[in-house]
């Protein structure tokens, strides 16, 4: 990657103003407080540098880029088809240079927030010249050994149609607002498992056919949907609304039909989500869990013990489906979606209320006709269809004993 050296001149000129006595966090705080002393033209030079790095990232089909921080060792790193690698042909940056480049991306409010919380989620957009589109990224900047680090994840500029995600037709029906007007559907998985892609596909499916009002509350907003048959509102936490909880509560006064909660990350948001669902709205949200049963247990465990019985009963009443997913390496060198799907039947509802969630796995295992499938069953399907290897099927299974049992019967 060939870049001119103008950005080096800008960085050196500014960093020469940092008092030599400052070190580590103090130096980062100085940059946070003084970044606007760099002229607008010079700040644009640094922005253009980032945009060129991101352009190269897109053209390499990378999902993530890493810049700055002690762990980077001065290199820029990319994740390409699930594998993290340093890119030696990209420019290298000192910790201080990287901090200036990162902080230059932030506005005043974001810089203040970062200085207090030591972590900031935000979105970033630039015009991608080759395809003449606005390229969007989900970003997170944070501290690593008193140095500033940045992760940026590419947000797809197009949405995969819901029917390409290989859900059973009954699952798509259950998640549809036109079929069930209220209830909670969860999309769960570890970071980077494609939860946002699935949520966006669900939103866009409604946007084709359902004359509804969708309110999206996210941190940050990733894909920006255009209102079609639906009217779609986007509310970014920290920019348009102060918190997920506030966004959920305020949504009740905004005449929504469907509320998308980017993440149920704290007890207050969980309780607010259950309450807004209980008022007759359809709600979709995400959790960082790897199975349907774990998702149910996590929601209950997140709240205070005195609240757990009430939350368990309310969850049983409003939960309609859970999709737990993983992106696993495919035989073509890319990644493919594997998923576990739970549909809440009367038996599942009773198991949740009676705190017998350990029984739910077998209910999923035996619920294939209604569209349910365990992670192990879906990995077996992908293996038999020659889309993943045997080793991958075993490695990504939640239940190693179970996957070996069902594969040995093949």
- pLDDT tens digit sequence for 210-237: 999 999 999 888 889 999 999 999 999 8
> In whole angstroms, what is the distance from residue 122 CA to residue 110 CA?
8
Identify whether residues 351 and 282 lie together within a single domain: yes
Here the CATH number for the domain that contains residue 275 is 3.40.50.300
Identify whether residues 397 and 304 lie together within a single domain: yes
Domain-located, residue 1: no
Query: Final residue of a domain: which of 155, 190, 221?
Result: 155
Identify whether residues 233 and 115 lie together within a single domain: no
Domain-located, residue 260: yes
Query: Final residue of a domain: which of 101, 131, 155?
Result: 155
Which of 279, 223, 228 has the alpha carbon at shortest distance from 249? 279
Please return the burial class of 47, using the count of CB atoms within 10 Å of its CB with bins 0-12, 13-18 and 19+: middle
- Give the global pTM: 0.81
The pLDDT value given to residue 4: 65
Q: Which residues contact 311 (CB under 8 A, 6 or more apart)?
A: 270, 271, 274, 299, 300, 303
Residue ranges of the chain whose pLDDT lies below 70: 1-4, 410
Identify whether residues 41 and 174 lie together within a single domain: no
The pLDDT value given to residue 352: 97
Identify whether residues 29 and 126 lie together within a single domain: yes
> In whole angstroms, what is the distance from residue 393 CA to residue 375 CA?
10
Number of domains in the chain: 2
Report which secondary-structure segment, H or E, holds 321: strand 319-329
Identify whether residues 151 and 166 lie together within a single domain: no
The pLDDT value given to residue 265: 85
The pLDDT value given to residue 282: 97
Query: Final residue of a domain: which of 90, 124, 155?
Result: 155
For residue 148, give its domain range.
6-155
Identify whether residues 76 and 181 lie together within a single domain: no
Here the CATH number for the domain that contains residue 81 is 3.30.450.90
Identify whether residues 150 and 27 lie together within a single domain: yes
Identify whether residues 244 and 118 lie together within a single domain: no
Q: Which residues contact 375 (CB under 8 A, 6 or more apart)?
A: 290, 291, 324, 326, 338, 339, 340, 396, 397, 398, 399
Identify whether residues 316 and 215 lie together within a single domain: yes
């Amino acid at each position: 990657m060939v870049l001119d050296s103008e950005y080096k001149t800008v960085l050196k000129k500014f960093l020469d103003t940092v008092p030599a006595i400052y070190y580590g966090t103090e130096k980062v705080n100085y940059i946070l407080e003084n970044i606007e002393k760099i002229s607008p033209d010079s700040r644009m030079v640094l922005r253009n540098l980032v945009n060129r790095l991101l352009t190269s990232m897109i053209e390499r089909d990378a999902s993530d880029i890493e810049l700055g921080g002690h762990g980077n060792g001065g290199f820029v790193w990319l994740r390409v088809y699930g594998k993290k690698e340093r890119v030696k042909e990209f420019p290298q940056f000192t910790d201080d240079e990287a901090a200036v480049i990162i902080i230059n991306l932030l506005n005043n409010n974001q810089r203040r927030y970062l200085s207090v919380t030591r972590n900031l989620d935000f979105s970033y957009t630039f015009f991608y010249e080759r395809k003449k589109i606005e390229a969007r990224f989900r970003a997170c900047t944070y501290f690593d050994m008193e140095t500033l680090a940045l992760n940026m994840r590419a947000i797809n500029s197009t949405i995969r149609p819901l029917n390409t995600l290989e859900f059973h037709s009954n699952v798509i029906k259950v998640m549809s607002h036109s079929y069930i007007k209220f209830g909670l559907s969860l999309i769960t998985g570890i970071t980077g498992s494609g939860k946002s892609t699935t949520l966006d596909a669900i939103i866009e499916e409604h946007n084709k056919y359902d004359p509804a009002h969708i309110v999206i509350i996210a941190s940050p907003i990733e894909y920006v949907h255009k209102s079609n048959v639906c009217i779609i509102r986007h509310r970014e936490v920290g920019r348009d609304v102060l918190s997920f909880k506030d966004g959920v509560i305020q949504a009740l006064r905004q005449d929504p039909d469907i509320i998308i909660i980017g993440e149920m990350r704290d007890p207050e948001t969980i309780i607010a989500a259950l309450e807004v669902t209980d008022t007759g709205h359809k709600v979709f949200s995400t959790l960082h869990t790897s199975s349907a049963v774990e998702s149910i247990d996590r929601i209950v465990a997140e709240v205070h013990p005195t609240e757990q019985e009430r939350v368990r009963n309310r969850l049983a009443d409003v939960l309609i489906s859970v999709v737990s997913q993983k992106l696993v390496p495919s035989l073509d060198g890319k990644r493919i979606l594997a998923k576990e799907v739970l549909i809440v039947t009367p038996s599942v509802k009773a198991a949740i209320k009676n705190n017998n969630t350990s029984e739910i796995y077998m209910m999923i295992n035996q619920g294939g006709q209604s569209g349910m499938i365990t992670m192990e069953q879906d990995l077996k399907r992908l293996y038999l269809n020659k889309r993943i290897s045997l080793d991958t099927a075993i490695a990504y299974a939640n239940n190693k004993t179970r996957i070996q049992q069902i594969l040995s019967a093949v």
